[in-house]
Amino acid sequence: MMKLLMVPAGVAFLITLALVILSLGGTLYSGPAIHREITQHYLPYAVFATGRLALAAFLISLALSGLGSLCYTSLMKLGKWKYSFFLNVLSALAAFLVFTLLQFSHQLFHYPSSIVASFNYDIRRLYPFWELLTAERIELGFLLASALFLSPIFARWVLDIRNRAWKSAGVMLMAGCAAATVVWWTRYAPEPPKEPLPHHPVRPNIVMIGSDTLRTDRLGANGNPRKLTPAIDSLAKEGVNFKQHIIPLARTAPSLASLFTSTWPAIHGVRDNFVADNETRFPVATLPQILRQHGYLTETVGDWAASDLGKFDYGFDRVDAAFDQWNFKYLLRQGPKDLRLFVSLFTHNRLGKALLPELYFLAGVPLTAEIGLEARNRIHMLARTGRPFFLNIFMAATHGPFGSAFPYYRLYADPAYRGNSLFAMGAVSSVDEIVKSQSADRRNFDVRQIVDLYDGAVRSFDDEVGKLLNYLRDTGLDRNTIVIIYSDHGVDLFESETWGQGNILSDYSYRTPLVIRDPRLLSSKEIDATVSSIDIAPTVLELAGIKPSTQWQGISLVPLIKGDAREEVRIAFAETGVWIANVRGLPKERIPYPPIMELLEIRDKHSGTLSFKPQYFPTLIRAKARMARQGKWALVYFPLATGPIYQLFDMISDPAMKYDLAEAHPDVVAKLRGPLDRWINGEAQ
């Protein structure tokens, strides 16, 4: 047995060595640039992480080259040929190259942004090859290659059976069963059965479905002409569509914290994405914790965008999501690009999730269908318990760089486009590239193509929403399940002078979808009142018949849903995030602070969590722009080095906030300035 493995092991070793050497010229991780002394401290861990990926590369190469070597030795035995070391090596190498090329083709065609995320070269080099690919050709290639290499092995196994070579036949049978199990585990994921499921007689189930970076103007129910969201639109026709839903801070960690704690960022303390380990507990009870106290099973399912739901102490019974994306050790485990690219070709599956979750959950790689399937399976498992359940589903379907699976990345794009954003937004596959891109002029980007990619990603999310809604109907759970569509923030797509979220207080970043369907309150209702995401948790509890925490700052939207409250009196507040670049469109006199490399530190070297240095907290908070939003008006407070300024914008006619109307409407400024100043000063609202 060892003798048979020598050739494929040697081939696998040389392939792995070549990949490691090729990777040495690049960075050892995929995160932001930080000080050299920190990277030097983690050099031994980086060696371990690279070695771990190298081992994975070796095992993959061994399996593929072993198939080729076994094919050759089978042919040799069948044909009674004389052994040739050269032909054995050639066959091992051929199997490796053929199946690696086929797997690369599969990823390039179906999930091209997974290639972009780890590609160290000009992605446009791959376009001629990509143009040759179709799903049918790739599948045919796998079938032909499998037949080519497996037929001699099967014939040899039959010969061993006839010759009563039981030991050899048994070894080959076990190897075949193991290989078949791996193939099944990696290529097939079962759907849950569509059978009637029990539901609690009193408490409704609650399913929240969120997509990171989903803009409210993408919903057909809100007037989008492309009709990107038929499933969400149908849900809105049976529920309530809040058209002026504002989030307090357009960055993922603080936005989710406000949603699940029903408090403003100044209270829950999460003011941006880089948060230290000792700052992940909240001063108030969270929505999942209160639901648990009242008998609910609480779970969350997500991808790399949902990592904060596990990092912070929300109190879910179960969290199925990525590890903290701003952890330096986690980023090191993702490895250098060339080595990562090869291994990641084989990890976009259940086996990859189990063994190498850092690559399965790699930022920028779409997992929309996978998260949708996992969510349906969890609904099935939770419902079978007979207890009420709260399932939060949060995915990166619409998050930058706006890559999605086939056919979504081609649905709305110009068929003739061949720029560097064909598969995903170009030049943003690393944090450093994002920092540079946010300082660049829009002329450096193919804006139309980026918008088309984004719209395709929106459609991919909506299709998964449709599958979830269909599953609820097929199982009868729709009769006792509240469904909520939400997002943590939107995104500016160069409507002003910038892209990204949380840099300016525009509607594109801060106005997000909120659709609620309660089967007990079926209606088709649009609400134009200004509401905040801190109102979602109290609304959920009231719909579930549970009193909210007295420490919460949000108010229930149920009176609005039932038509028992006035719409025009509500005010929503918001603040910007920490600027990681010299973002275009910001006042030149804004309060300055150092670049992100200087701001970041790792307080606990054992955990590896990246966070902002405490000495910069006062400046980072003081520099934020703030907003009071009521109806169509947004009053913005912008602190400058020379003193603060107040600007007023009409968000209906000017959602990009280009025209200051403060002088023309002093009465509106006076009306909103008092509440805004009190909110800035930390007074409860």
**How far is 186 from 106, CA to CA, in rounded Å?**
13
CA–CA distance, 7 with 13 (Å, rounded to integer): 10
Higher confidence at residue 35 or residue 470? Answer: 470
Q: Give which of 234, 382, 225, 236 is closest to 318, Cα–Cα.
A: 382
Residue 589 has pLDDT above 60, yes or no: yes
Structure confidence at residue 172 (pLDDT): 84
Pairing relationship of beta strands 572-575 and 600-601 according to DSSP bridges: unpaired
Task: Please name which of 20, 94, 102 lies closest in space to residue 57, comparing C-alpha atoms.
Answer: 20
pLDDT at residue 259, rounded to an integer? 99
Can you spell out the DSSP letters for 275-329? --GGG-S-SS--HHHHHHHTT-EEEEEE-GGGTHHHHS----SEEESPPPTTBHH
Query: What pLDDT, in 10s, does the model give residues 608-622?
Result: 999 999 999 999 999
Per-residue pLDDT band for 684 (boundaries 50, 70, 90) equals very low
DSSP string, 150-177: HHHHHHHHHHHHHTT-HHHHHHHHHHHH
- How is domain 205-325+363-575 classified at the architecture level of CATH? 3-Layer(aba) Sandwich (3.40)
Among 183-187, 221-225, 535-539, the minimum mean pLDDT is found in 183-187
The mean pLDDT of 628-657, rounded to a whole number, is 95
pLDDT tens per residue across span 121-155: 999 999 999 999 999 999 999 999 999 999 999 99
- Whole-model pTM: value is 0.95
Q: How many CA atoms lie within 13 A of 675 on its CB side?
A: 18
- How many Å apart are CA 363 and CA 483, to the nearest integer? 27
Q: Percent of the chain, pLDDT > 90?
A: 82
| 399: three-class secondary structure by DSSP | coil
Q: What is the pLDDT of residue 201?
A: 81
Residue 416 pLDDT exceeds 90: yes
**Which amino acid is located at 36 in the chain?**
R
Structure token digits, residue 85: 């070391």
Please report the beta strands in 534-625, taking only residues with DSSP state E, as ranges in sequence order.
572-575, 600-601, 611-612
What does the pLDDT read at residue 250? 98
DSSP conformational letter for 245: E
With beta carbons less than 8 A apart as the criterion, state whether 539 and 240 touch. Answer: no
Sort strands 492-493 and 525-532 into parallel, antiparallel or unpaired.
unpaired
For the cut 80, the answer to whether the pLDDT of residue 448 exceeds it is yes
pLDDT band at 25 (very low <50, low <70, confident <90, very high): confident
Distance CA 62, CA 67 (A): 8
8, 178, 538 from 68: Cα distances, Å: 8, 17, 61
pLDDT of 439 = 65
**pLDDT tens readout for residues 538-551:** 999 999 999 999 99
Q: For residue range 146-184, list pLDDT tens digits in order.
A: 999 999 999 999 988 998 888 888 888 888 888 888 888
Tokens linked to 685: 């609202």
Residue 169 confidence (pLDDT) = 84
Buried b (16+ CB within 10 A) or exposed e, 550-585: eebbbbbbbebbeeebeeeebbbbbbbbbbbbebbe
What's the mean pLDDT in 575-594? 88
Averaged pLDDT, 652-667: 95
pLDDT tens digits for range 290-309: 999 999 999 999 999 999 99
Class of domain 614-680: alpha beta
Token pair 């989008």: residue: 224
Q: 569 or 44: whose pLDDT is higher?
A: 44
> Per-residue pLDDT for 1 more than 60?
no
Mean pLDDT of the residues in the chain: 93
Do residues 298 and 292 make contact, with C-beta atoms less than 8 angstroms apart?
yes
**From edge to edge, which strands make up the β-sheet containing 645-650?**
572-575, 626-630, 633-638, 645-650
- Domain ranges, ordered by start, for the chain: 2-187, 205-325+363-575, 614-680
In eight-state DSSP terms, residue 591 is P
User: What is the chain's length?
Assistant: 685
Per DSSP, helices labelled H in 388-546 are 408-411, 431-438, 447-475, 507-510, 536-543
pLDDT exceeding 70 applies to what percent of the chain?
95
Q: Which of 71-85, 173-187, 250-264 has the lowest mean pLDDT?
A: 173-187
pLDDT-derived band at 394 (thresholds 50, 70, 90) equals very high
Output the pLDDT for position 445.
Answer: 87
More confident position, 665 or 563: 665
pLDDT of residue 33: 61
Q: Which amino acid is at 293?
A: Q
